[in-house]
Amino acid sequence: EPAVAALTQYYRNNIPAGSKILDICSSWVSHCPLEFKDTMKRISGTGMNPLELIENDQLTDYEARNLNVNPTLSYDDDTFDVVTCVVSIDYLIHPIEVLKEVRRVLKPGGKVIISQSNRCFPSKAIAMWLNMDDRQHLELINGYAKYAGFGPGIAYDITASVPAGEPYNDPMFIVEISK
């Protein structure tokens, strides 16, 4: 799928070898490049379903936690170089609290990479999200980050290019925020 490939390539180009990564809202599939398992110091995952997390062979460790019920992270302060959140910020009902925790566990100079598509499960997304366009989604994510104590983020359109004539409509965006 082109959107997943674009995100994987973004990670490959923007997460340095030897990093400690936390993927929040993680599941059974990882969007990290396959080589990350060997080139990163640690890839941790926090997600709702322990059965999915155990199947994610990229993770070096994981914790099952519903961040909508308990928006805290069980990791020490200044632990991770990078925190990722793949197309899931729209499902968090306490995104500012979660991002405050992300800020706490990020090392100084670390970064958050929040990816976002215009696809979602409408029954799971917060109501406000459903009435916004792509640009508004990016502005909302940046606003969440601001209220969580981060400076301004930078938004990127990483939508995959496909051959002419191919039907494709799956945009992918990144908001990258540094601590």
**pLDDT value of residue 125:** 60
What is the Rg, in whole angstroms, of the alpha carbon atoms belonging to the chain?
A: 15
Show the tokens assigned to 56.
């994610």
In the block, tokens 């990093």 appear at: 19
**pLDDT value of residue 89:** 87
Show the tokens assigned to 94.
């306490």
| pLDDT at 163 > cutoff 90 | no
Tens-digit pLDDT profile for residues 15-59? 999 999 999 999 988 899 999 999 999 999 999 999 999 999 999
In the block, tokens 């100079």 appear at: 109
Average pLDDT over residues 151-168: 82
Task: Please state the length of the chain.
Answer: 179
Show the tokens assigned to 129.
């999200």
Tens-digit pLDDT profile for residues 121-136? 556 666 666 676 778 8
